[in-house]
């Protein structure tokens, strides 16, 4: 049965961009303002789930050919890897560092290694969220 979901599709087309942008914004703003890897990942993940609910699996998968199990695994690898990485700089496990850099065009920017860690968290959250919801909904 095909339900008539023109309204949903039209709305989602616009809204998904706002949600995904919000997710990215939340991820980067986390350092000094509310946001962060977990919440950013959660918002991005729910945006992707919304896409899956609105369009069918194949359509979304064609545009976003990710295996979300691997996304989650990569996230875990990134988080733990960034933790181990500090050992190579003679710093204790999980040490984070930050510095100010002058990047052309963008101006002075605050770069931190915790961003890598948070990216790992975000990817794990996205991957796990989408994997769980997809596998439940695919279940016959």
Interatomic CA distance for residues 42 and 37, integer angstroms: 8
Among 48, 51, 60, 125, binds other proteins (CB under 8 A): 125
Interatomic CA distance for residues 106 and 122, integer angstroms: 24
119 is an interface residue for other proteins by CB under 8 A: no
Q: Is the dihedral of CA 53, 59, 61, 64 positive or negative?
A: negative
Residues 12-31 binding other proteins (CB under 8 A) are: 26, 30-31
Return the structure tokens found at 95.
């040490």
Return the structure tokens found at 93.
């496990």
Please give the backbone phi and psi of residue 56, each rounded to the nearest 5 degrees, phi first.
-85, 170
Please give the backbone phi and psi of residue 2, each rounded to the nearest 5 degrees, phi first.
-105, 115
Q: How far is the CB of 55 from other proteins (least distance, A)?
A: 16
Q: Is the dihedral of CA 12, 60, 130, 84 positive or negative?
A: negative
- Nearest residue (CB) to other proteins, 61 versus 131: 131
- Nearest residue (CB) to other proteins, 34 versus 65: 34
Q: How far is the CB of 94 from other proteins (least distance, A)?
A: 5
Residues 91-110 binding other proteins (CB under 8 A) are: 94, 96-98, 110
Q: Which residues bind other proteins (CB under 8 A)?
A: 26, 30-39, 42-43, 45-46, 49, 53, 69, 72-73, 75-76, 79-80, 83, 94, 96-98, 110, 112, 114, 117-118, 120-121, 124-125, 127-129, 131-133, 135-139
């Amino acid at each position: 049965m095909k339900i008539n979901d023109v309204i949903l599709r039209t709305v989602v087309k616009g809204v998904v961009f706002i949600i995904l942008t919000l997710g990215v914004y939340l991820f980067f703003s986390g350092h000094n303002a509310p946001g962060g890897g977990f919440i950013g990942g959660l918002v991005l993940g729910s945006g992707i789930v919304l896409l899956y609910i609105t369009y069918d699996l194949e359509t979304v998968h064609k545009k976003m050919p990710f295996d979300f199990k691997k996304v989650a695994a990569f996230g875990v690898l990134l988080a733990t890897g960034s933790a181990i990485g500090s050992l190579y700089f003679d710093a204790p496990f999980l040490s984070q560092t930050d510095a100010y850099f002058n990047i052309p065009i963008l101006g002075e920017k605050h770069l931190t290694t915790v961003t890598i860690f948070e990216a790992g968290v975000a990817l794990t959250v996205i991957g796990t969220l989408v994997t769980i919801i997809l596998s439940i909904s695919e279940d016959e």
